[in-house]
Amino acid sequence: MGDLTNLLFIVLGFVFVLASVALPRIVRPRAAAQASGQAQADRLDFRALERIDRSMVQLEETSRELFGRLDTRTRVLIRLLEDAEVKTQQLEQAVQRGRGGTA
């Protein structure tokens, strides 16, 4: 019975030593892989944010350009309308003079 107990303690001691040496080596690569996977995900997220930021800047520049064009066209249209009103008044005055001033 004593030999069996000693053998059991030896086997349990061997399993304990093996587990204490092997488990950290098995667990570390997984943790490192998870950490590197998280770092890679963080880099991808950062790149995505950079792309979004660049797109926002391009959108802002494009909108400024378009609003500038619209503003210019609006000013031209207003000026043309003012000129048309002046011409209309001049034509009405010429027609009245042509009729002899009778309305």
pLDDT score recorded for residue 99 = 87
How far apart (Å, rounded) are the C-alpha atoms in residues 73 and 66?
11
pLDDT score recorded for residue 84 = 97
Per-residue pLDDT of the chain (103 residues; tens, 9 = 90+): 667 777 777 887 878 777 777 777 766 666 556 667 777 878 888 898 999 999 999 999 999 999 999 999 999 999 999 999 999 999 999 999 988 755 5
Q: Give how far Cα 5 sits from Cα of 11, 13, 81, Å.
A: 10, 12, 110
pLDDT score recorded for residue 7 = 76
Q: What is the CA radius of gyration of the chain?
A: 44
pLDDT score recorded for residue 21 = 75
- Given a contact cutoff of 8 angstroms between Cβ atoms, the answer to whether 94 and 101 are in contact is no
